[in-house]
């Protein structure tokens, strides 16, 4: 959700969602399934953290001065993973 009072809030929220999704999906597709099953919690935590960083960088580049909150949910192997920033 774009932050009220900040420039380009609606753009920032779109940029954040796209960047987070792209980062997490791309990295998930490149993972070895056996490694993921062995250490899923740590891997997912790292993926979500990298996704948030990617979203932040994308906002800085594509919506300077903009800001957004971000809530992301990843369901993987019957486990729900949630992250919220803002």
DSSP H or E segment with residue 47: helix 40-62
Domain range spanning residue 42? 9-85
Domain count for the chain: 1
**What averages of pLDDT result for each successive group of 10 residues across the chain (86 residues)?**
62 94 94 85 95 96 90 93 92
Query: Six-digit token pair at 8?
Result: 């380009």
Q: How far apart are CA 11 and CA 61, in angstroms?
A: 11
pLDDT at 7: 63
The per-residue pLDDT for 66 is 87
DSSP secondary structure letter of residue 2: B
Residue-level pLDDT at 33: 82
pLDDT at position 41? 92
Within a domain: 2: no
**Unique residue bearing structure tokens 């990298």:** 50
Residue 58 has what pLDDT?
97
Q: What pTM was computed for the model?
A: 0.85
Q: Kindly report the backbone phi and psi dihedral angles of residue 72, in degrees, each rounded to the nearest multiple of 5, phi listed first.
A: -130, 145
Q: Is residue 42 part of a domain?
A: yes
């Amino acid at each position: 959700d774009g932050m009220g009072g900040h420039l380009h809030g609606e753009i920032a929220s779109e940029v954040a969602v796209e960047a987070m999704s792209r980062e997490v999906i791309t990295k998930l597709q490149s993972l070895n399934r056996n490694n993921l099953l062995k250490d899923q919690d740590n891997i997912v935590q790292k993926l979500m953290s990298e996704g948030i960083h990617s979203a932040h960088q994308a906002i800085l580049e594509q919506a300077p001065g903009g800001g957004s909150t971000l809530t992301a949910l990843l369901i993987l192997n019957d486990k729900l993973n949630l992250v919220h920033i803002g």
